[in-house]
Amino acid sequence: MQRTIEQRYAIKFCVGLGHSGTETLGLIREVFKDESMSQTAVFKWHKLFKDGRESVDDEPRAGRPSTSRTDDNVQRVREVLNSDSRLSVRMIADRIGIDKMTVHTIITENLAMRKICAKLVPKALSYDQKQSRASACEDLLQRVEEDPDFLDNVITGGESWISEYDPETKRQSSESLTAASSRPKKARINKSRVKAMLIVFFDSKGVVHYEFVPEEQAVNGAFYLEVLKRLKGKVSRVRQSIAGNWKLHHDNTPSHTCSKVTDYLTKNAIATIPQPLYSPDLAPACYFLFPKVKSSLKGHHHGTLSAVEEACMRTLKDLPESAYHGAYESWKSRWKKCVDAQGMYFDELYL
């Protein structure tokens, strides 16, 4: 600050001698060198002194109260955040007249708060949809309480697209670097348009049946009915202990709930486990199996659909029985979380 005051006196002296702004700037730089004021500041003060200003001190600033971390200021920041937690530090500082750095310190240290991005959820649930989710989960929890082996004969499944190439996530592409290293760059890469649809059914012991939908084949009611027929035959071969008394869990897509499918399930005495609408967080295929499969394939170019299918099959075979058992245990805990959250989406949508 002292060097700045000295330069202002020097500028005032140059104005008294009749030097222009450019001449004054040259003299300031010659004398003060690297500590010289900026060109803008020199011209500003040259004009002020030329217009008759005498003082070299800054004008007193008005309008802002104390910027210290007083209890009063902490309380004021708390009240503003309580009214709208999405406000930025700058907006809070402008609203209550406190320095931005002080506001940031109050938020992070005094209030122990941090900015959290909104989490994307499948849908903005209505009151009725929340009630439906909670009610379904309460019913399932009651069934498990009455019969601890309730899930032992439940087969769940679904379908999902698997891309020929799916880029790595930021976490997967992270690197261990020294403090002096520059931050690695990751180019934006889109998924391949070449993709295959995988249909898979599994229980707490492992995969029961899977298949890939032929190209150009729509997964409609007629096609899904044939899939269920193949599933039923597979259950008879690989799950003989439950072949006469197994239950099916799948989502509510039209192909799963059409009359052809429901009539077939009823005729063959295959009970279904309810799945609330818009609830991937309550479907093991969505929060467990498909993320596992896709994660193992990320960052690899498979070239052809047959190569994609082979990679999927390897992943399905490599998953241990304990992983499927854990997914079913998580299923029960997710029902409890949904009930506790009164039907709203809880924090972790996927494993």
Per-residue pLDDT of the chain (351 residues; tens, 9 = 90+): 567 888 999 999 999 999 998 999 999 899 888 888 888 889 999 999 898 888 888 776 555 445 567 878 888 888 888 887 778 888 888 888 888 888 888 888 888 777 665 666 777 888 899 999 999 999 999 999 999 999 999 999 999 999 877 665 554 444 444 555 555 555 454 566 778 899 999 999 999 999 999 988 999 999 999 999 999 999 999 999 999 899 999 999 999 999 999 999 999 999 999 999 999 999 999 999 999 998 888 877 878 888 889 999 999 999 999 999 999 999 999 999 999 999 998 865 443
Calculate the alpha carbon distances from 55 to 9, 43, 139, 260 in Å: 9, 16, 80, 91
pLDDT of residue 155: 97
Architecture per CATH, domain 127-171+190-340, reads as: 2-Layer Sandwich (3.30)
Give the alpha-carbon dihedral of 319, 321, 326, 327, to 10 degrees.
60
> Among candidates 106, 64, 107, 54, which has minimal Cα distance to 85?
107
Tell me, rounded to whole angstroms, the distance of Cα 102 from its chain centroid.
Answer: 30
Predicted confidence at residue 227, as pLDDT, reads 97
Domain residue ranges of the chain, discontinuous segments joined by +:
2-50, 71-110, 127-171+190-340
Q: Across the chain, how many H-helices and E-strands are there?
A: 14, 5
The helix (H) or strand (E) run that includes residue 264 is: helix 259-267
Please state, in angstroms and rounded to a whole number, the distance separating the CA atoms of residues 93 and 81.
12
Fold agreement between 2-50 and 71-110: yes
Q: Give the span between the Cα atoms of 189 and 337, in whole angstroms.
A: 36
- What is the reported pLDDT for 268? 95
Round to whole Å and give the CA distance between 91 and 253.
Answer: 45
Give yes or no for a contact between 98 and 322, defined as CB atoms under 8 angstroms apart: no
Residue 312 CB partners (closer than 8 Å, separation 6+): 162, 196, 198, 210, 212, 293, 297
Q: Are 200 and 285 in contact (CB under 8 A)?
A: yes
* Domain covering 2-50 in this structure, CATH number: 1.10.10
Question: Which token pair is 59?
Answer: 């004008």
Instruction: Just give the CATH number of 71-110.
Output: 1.10.10
Classify burial at 83, counting beta carbons within 10 Å of its beta carbon; exposed 0-12, middle 13-18, buried 19 or more: exposed
Distances (CA, A) of 148 to 145, 152, 222, 332: 6, 9, 35, 11
Radius of gyration, CA atoms only, the chain: 34
